[in-house]
């Protein structure tokens, strides 16, 4: 093969022409998408869609399919990125219809749709959700769980004045620290000196992988979990950051930078700032685990609901019993950095405010009631409001598929009610009676089978049923489980596509044509699928795309 490629090939057959390279890339992408459609095998799926601007300021819409494959795994596959002239719901719907028509996907197989909650997506009358529901009433809409969680966190910041001021200060801190390369180098050097000092004093251990360099993470409302990263980085870099702010305040020639550094330093040396720093670390740390779990591709909606309940329960537990521990942790931190600790029994007075006509309460009351309790209560209330769909009939019925404790929540009547949400799959006169009998047999069978005894999620049931070939024995029960699994949980897969987009189309390749961009994106994002395609198949497909003077 090496005798006839690249420099050894004939001068007119090196396959290095830009047109030929684009055709080859398109052939690879087409075959990768074809493999995904083949894996879907005309089965039911959900649609995940979002749009974002690329480096060339062009609106791009990424399309993901979520389905259960032949082995019982939940998979989310990227099938294309489409340039849209505008982001109205009608334009997005037309682009999706065009893509589905090209790929031979049936609109009748929609069984779910998930978006990040933008008005053009989830609008009740003219949103993409409504336009798809007009074509298929069984494409149930699920608002991205991870996005709802992020909105709940941001909501707390917007509604509580002190938390808003706290995050504003973190944003200003990130701007000042990242204002120049010199400041970043000073911060890095301060961190290095601190680590050396702590190692010498025996405060921290040494070893492979320990004491890695920490960077200051900028908070952003649209990046899930970014606020937690910011808070933890400020705590770990507290001393290097304060040292940097002192240097900027004393030596900077920029008046605005000196002023900002002084404000940041004044805030960081205040007990209230440190208390809020640890409070938000506690709250965001609880929800961060949920945020990471929700972004797994194989996450099912029932388990996601369970994770939300766990977070609510942990927040309530912290509210009831966590204040003393948080206050102790804050006191230890402030003692370490010589920050004044107020007497908790003294009357609280806000800085810069007159004591006249102020409501009289102690520092202890202020920190526990006005800050700690209020912030956590707001967080719990937002989670209840954002995830109110856990009480809907559809998801209430889904809870009966929970396999834990030998299917303790199993309820045949509710599962049949769930099946009635899909009348095209479960005919009232033919399939429902048969499903009722199958459910009776299924529950007796799986409870007697030790292999089903330790299952935790609905997705585990699907995998075990395929493994034990019970999907053939109980086809309607397996269909019911598949319909539950295709319901989307989060749009994390779409966000990952947008992250990949920055690698494929960067400042040096910002004039890529839409077709070439799509081909590169598909082969890059779904490279595991692309790797399974045989070279001979690619060559034959490439040869058949158009008439060519020479054969490969």
Boundaries of domain holding 327: 149-389
Range among 3-12, 213-222, 433-442 with highest mean pLDDT value = 433-442
Among 389, 416, 447, the domain boundary falls at 389
- CA 438 to chain CA centroid, nearest Å: 37
Strand partners, 62: 50, 81
Does residue 550 belong to any structural domain of this protein?
Answer: no
pLDDT for 196: 65
Q: Does the pTM exceed 0.85?
A: no
* Number of domains present in the structure of the chain: 3
The residues near 384 (Cβ < 8 Å, ≥ 6 apart) are 312
Q: What is the pLDDT of residues 265-300, one digit of tens each?
A: 888 989 999 999 999 899 888 877 777 777 776 666
Residues 6+ apart with CB under 8 A from 7: none
Q: Is the dihedral of CA 81, 84, 88, 94 positive or negative?
A: negative
d(CA 199, CA 182): 26
Any domain includes 552: no
Say what percent of the chain tops pLDDT 70: 84
Give yes or no: residues 341 and 470 share one domain: no
In this structure, are strands 45-53 and 110-115 parallel, antiparallel, or unpaired?
A: parallel
Q: Are residues 379 and 505 in the same domain?
A: no
Are 70 and 212 members of one domain?
A: no
Mean pLDDT of all residues in 87-101? 85
Distance CA 168, CA 174 (A): 10
Tokens of 240: 């290097």
Residues 6+ away with beta carbon under 8 Å from 55: 502, 505, 506, 507, 510
Length of the chain as a residue count: 552
294 occurs within a structural domain: yes
- pLDDT tens, 408-441? 888 888 889 888 888 888 888 888 889 899 999 9
Q: Which residue has the higher pLDDT, 207 or 379?
A: 379
Residues 242 and 370 in one domain: yes
Q: What is the C-alpha to C-alpha distance for residues 160 and 157, in angstroms, rounded to an integer? A: 6
User: Is 412 found in the same domain as 373?
Assistant: no
pLDDT at 209 over 70: no
Q: Does a structural domain hold residue 232?
A: yes
**Structure tokens given for 39:** 């894996």
- Pair 162, 303 in one domain: yes
552: confidence class by pLDDT, cuts 50, 70, 90: low
Retrieve residue 313's tokens: 């329960």
pLDDT at 222 over 70: no
- Average pLDDT value for the chain: 81
Does residue 48 sit within a domain? yes
Same domain, yes or no, for 223 and 126?
A: no
In a domain, residue 327? The reply is yes
Among 367, 389, 411, where does a domain finish? 389
In a domain, 551, yes or no: no
Same domain, 333 and 185: yes
Q: Is 155 exposed, middle or buried (0-12, 13-18, 19+ CB in 10 A)?
A: middle
Tell whether 532 and 474 lie within a shared domain: no
Examine the domain organization and report whether 201 and 308 are in the same domain: yes
Is residue 549 a part of any domain in this protein? no
Domain-terminating residue out of 331, 356, 389: 389
At 67 the pLDDT is 92
Q: Spell out the residues 6+ positions from residue 221 whose beta carbon is closer than 8 angstroms to its own.
A: 150, 154
Model pLDDT, residue 390: 42
The pLDDT of 177-193, averaged and rounded, is: 78
Residue with tokens 């790797």: 531
Does one domain contain both 277 and 406? no
Q: Are residues 432 and 532 in the same domain?
A: no
């Amino acid at each position: 093969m090496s005798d006839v490629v690249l420099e050894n090939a004939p001068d007119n057959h090196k396959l290095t022409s830009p047109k030929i390279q684009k055709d080859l890339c398109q052939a690879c992408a087409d075959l990768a998408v074809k493999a995904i459609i083949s894996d879907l095998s005309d089965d039911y799926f959900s649609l995940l869609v979002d749009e974002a601007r690329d480096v060339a300021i062009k609106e791009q819409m990424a399309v993901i399919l979520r389905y259960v494959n032949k082995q019982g795994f939940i998979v989310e596959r990227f099938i294309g990125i489409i340039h849209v002239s505008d982001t109205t719901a009608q334009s997005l719907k037309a682009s999706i219809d065009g893509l589905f028509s090209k790929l031979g996907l049936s609109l009748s197989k929609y069984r779910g749709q998930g978006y990040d909650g933008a008005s053009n997506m989830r609008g009740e009358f003219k949103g993409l959700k409504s336009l798809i529901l007009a074509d298929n009433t069984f494409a149930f809409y699920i608002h991205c769980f991870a996005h709802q969680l992020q909105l709940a966190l941001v909501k707390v910041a917007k509604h509580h004045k002190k938390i808003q001021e706290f995050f504003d200060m973190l944003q200003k801190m990130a701007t000042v620290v990242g204002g120049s390369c010199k400041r970043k180098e000073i911060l890095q050097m301060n961190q290095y000196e601190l680590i050396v000092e702590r190692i010498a004093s025996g405060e921290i251990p040494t070893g492979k992988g320990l004491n890695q360099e920490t960077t200051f993470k900028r908070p952003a409302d649209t990046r899930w979990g970014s606020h937690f990263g910011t808070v933890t980085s400020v705590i770990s870099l507290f001393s290097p950051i304060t040292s940097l702010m002192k240097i900027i305040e004393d030596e900077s020639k920029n008046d605005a930078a000196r002023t900002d550094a002084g404000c940041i330093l004044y805030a960081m040396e205040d007990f209230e700032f440190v208390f809020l720093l640890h409070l938000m670390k506690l709250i965001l740390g609880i929800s961060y685990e949920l945020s990471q779990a929700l972004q797994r591709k194989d996450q099912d909606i029932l388990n996601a609901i369970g994770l939300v309940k766990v977070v609510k329960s942990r927040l309530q537990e912290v509210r009831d019993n966590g204040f003393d521990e948080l206050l102790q942790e804050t006191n230890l931190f402030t003692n370490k950095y010589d920050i004044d600790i107020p007497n908790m029994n003294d009357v609280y007075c806000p800085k810069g405010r007159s004591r006249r006509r102020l409501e009289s309460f102690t520092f202890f009351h202020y920190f526990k009631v006005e800050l700690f309790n209020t912030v956590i209560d707001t967080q719990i209330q937002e989670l209840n409001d954002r995830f109110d769909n856990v009480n809907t009939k559809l998801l209430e019925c889904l809870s009966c598929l929970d396999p834990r404790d030998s299917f303790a929540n199993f309820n045949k009547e509710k599962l049949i009610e769930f099946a009635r949400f899909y009348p095209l799959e479960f005919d009232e006169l033919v399939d429902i009676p048969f499903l009722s009998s199958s459910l009776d047999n299924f529950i007796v069978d799986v409870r007697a089978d030790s292999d089903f005894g330790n299952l935790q999620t609905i997705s585990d049931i699907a995998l075990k049923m395929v493994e034990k070939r019970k999907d053939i024995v109980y086809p309607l029960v397996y269909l019911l489980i598949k319909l539950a699994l295709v319901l989307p949980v989060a749009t994390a897969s779409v966000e990952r596509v947008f992250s990949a987009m920055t690698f494929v189309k960067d400042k040096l390749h910002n004039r890529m044509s839409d077709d070439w961009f799509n081909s590169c994106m598909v082969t890059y994002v779904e490279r595991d699928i692309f790797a399974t395609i045989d070279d001979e198949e690619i060559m034959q497909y490439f040869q058949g795309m158009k008439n060519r003077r020479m054969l490969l």
